Amino acid sequence: MEILRNLLNAYRLRWKRRRFLFRAFCKRNQLKPVADRTAQILDDDILVVSTVRNELIRLPHFLEHYRRLGVNHFLFVDNNSDDGTREYLAKEPDVSLWSTAQSYRLSRFGVDWLTWLQLKYAHGHWCLTLDADEILIYPHHDTRSLKALVNWLDQTGRRSFGTLMLDMYPKGRLNDRLYQPGDDPFEILSWFDGGNYMIRKQPLLQNLWIQGGVRARHFFADQPRRAPTMGKTPLVKWHRRYAYVSSSHSILPRQLNCVYDEAGGERLSGILLHTKFLHTATERSAEEKKRGEHFANSSQYDSYYDSIADNPDLWCDRSTRLIGWRQLEAMGLMSKGNWV
């Protein structure tokens, strides 16, 4: 009976993945090219794909960070920005850019658009799927490039790399310190919650469902199981038959979600430092609530948006100040596994 159930689940997931790929194909005409430099992409280039809207304040540091790590080309979809994001990205020599005014929510929160770009341009490449407020770090990231990381993953037969998304926040109210484009955001967002994480394995997709951090503590204290999931698989050796299910929280084929060790050991993993709680969060939360584009059941998150718009102080006496990747590894939030 168990064998039959597994076969049926595999069949259903295969067709689900095909539906996602077909959706992406259908949504391709929603994307209008603004700056197509994809002819520059070489066979071994590492790519970033991202959907953005009004992220001009974050983009200078985002691009600098990933260029320093060794990303060769960026594929962006601009979703109707009006703050200069589109104009800024169009001028960057290693960026290819498309624009759309269509619904972010109805495109599976941008995933359909990115799946089309990955299908067309990322096959055979190591590809990072990111939001503009996500900064990847990993063991030895300060001395070893992404090229070194993906070469090691290739040598060990791994096709995906898992991370915890770690919400960073300031000490004091969000609006107390203003962030300037190009600055290091972690000079302001210096704090995080280090010890309140809950982990479950999702039996169908085999991904880890991780909840906790400051959002579970501050915004969902009464209902922590409603808090956002913090596990992601953002780095994948892409194939045109792959498709994310929910942002980069889970992916098909489901074997790519197995970025953890079930035998009691540890696998190499990283952290996405999340810069959501810059001073702009208060204004953007009011806008996101009005647009209703960021959650399938947006009305359920009204109090969450309202709490951010109220300019909270997220710091508490259990908050931990960020020092570096070795600290995060020692706390068990990421692992260097046997990559030494």
3-class secondary structure, 70: coil
The CA distance from 240 to 17, in Å, is: 11
Banded model confidence at residue 295, pLDDT cuts 50, 70, 90 = low
Residue at token pair 């970025």: 259
Sign of torsion over alpha carbons 115, 117, 121, 125? negative
Contact 196, 185 (CB under 8 A): no
**pLDDT of 192 above 80:** yes
Contact 294, 311 (CB under 8 A): no
The pLDDT value recorded for residue 293 is: 60
Pairing of strands 320-321, 191-192: antiparallel
Banded model confidence at residue 195, pLDDT cuts 50, 70, 90 = confident
Residue type at 258 in one-letter notation: C
60-119 pLDDT, tens per residue? 999 999 999 999 999 999 999 999 999 999 999 999 999 999 999 999 999 999 999 999
The pLDDT value recorded for residue 50 is: 98
The first and second tokens of residue 253, run together, are 């084929």
User: Please, which residues have CB within 8 angstroms of residue 43's CB and are 6 or more apart in sequence?
Assistant: 124
Say which DSSP state 40 is in: G
Q: For 13-22, 221-230, 290-299, which range has the lowest pLDDT when averaged over its residues? A: 290-299
pTM of model > 0.85? yes
The CA distance from 16 to 35, in Å, is: 32
What percent of the chain lies above the pLDDT cut of 90? 85
Better-scored residue on pLDDT, 168 or 265:
168
The CA distance from 232 to 331, in Å, is: 19
Domains of the chain from N-terminus onward: 2-330 (3.90.550)
The CA distance from 28 to 13, in Å, is: 23
**pLDDT of 274 above 60:** yes
Q: What is the separation of C-alpha 209 from the centre of its chain, rounded to a whole number of angstroms?
A: 14
The first and second tokens of residue 149, run together, are 């990381």
What percent of the chain lies above the pLDDT cut of 70? 97
**pLDDT of 290 above 60:** yes
Banded model confidence at residue 297, pLDDT cuts 50, 70, 90 = low
